[in-house]
């Protein structure tokens, strides 16, 4: 199981950095400075993300993390939870830090996805992982509010 999680983390981390770079290029290509281009820009990000997860399913299959589609879908769900929780973190201006953070978030999502889709893992651990993911957003919100003094 550890090897499966490591392979999933490596594939997802590489795809995370690729996603980050592609989205940066897409935003730069749109050159949007006002609200009028927000819908096309966000649409491009959605298309890039969907294409990446379709590719993730294939890449995961190639490194023997099966079923690739289920693992990719679980990773996408974990990424949503990580993204919501990440809103509580302070921002930084370094592009390198952004790329590393994207790779780390995708790698973490790959690990979680490989774990919850593993057939040998007891159902209670899968439910526990799901509860922890769902709890990330409210905990992050509470920490953010506490940090801002509200």
Q: Which of these three, 43, 68, 91, is where a domain ends? A: 91
Average pLDDT, rounded, for the chain: 88
The whole model's pTM is what?
0.85
Which range of residues forms the domain containing residue 99?
Answer: 94-149
pLDDT in tens, 72-127: 999 999 998 998 888 777 777 888 888 998 999 999 999 999 999 998 899 999 99
- The reply to whether 22 and 57 lie within a common domain is yes
Q: Considering only CA atoms, which of 141, 19, 131, 132 is closest in space to residue 89?
A: 141
pLDDT in tens, 13-32: 999 999 999 998 888 877 77
CA–CA distances in Å: residue 94 to residues 23, 45, 47, 80: 16, 21, 25, 22
Q: Which of these three, 70, 91, 112, is where a domain ends? A: 91
- The reply to whether 86 and 104 lie within a common domain is no
Q: Which of these three, 71, 91, 111, is where a domain ends? A: 91
Domain count, the chain: 2
């Amino acid at each position: 199981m550890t090897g499966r999680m490591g392979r999933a983390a490596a594939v997802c981390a590489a795809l995370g950095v690729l996603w980050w770079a592609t989205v940066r290029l897409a935003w730069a290509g749109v050159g949007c400075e006002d609200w009028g281009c927000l819908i096309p820009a966000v649409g491009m990000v959605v298309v890039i993300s969907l294409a990446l997860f379709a590719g993730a399913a294939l890449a995961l299959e190639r490194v023997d993390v099966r079923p690739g589609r289920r693992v990719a879908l679980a990773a996408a769900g974990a990424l949503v939870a990580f993204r919501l929780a990440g809103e509580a973190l302070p921002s930084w201006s370094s592009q390198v830090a952004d790329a590393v953070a994207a790779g780390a978030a995708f790698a973490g999502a790959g690990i979680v996805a490989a774990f919850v889709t593993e057939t040998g893992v007891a159902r209670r651990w899968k439910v526990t992982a799901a509860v922890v993911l769902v709890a990330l957003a409210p905990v992050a919100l509470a920490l953010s509010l506490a940090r801002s003094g509200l």
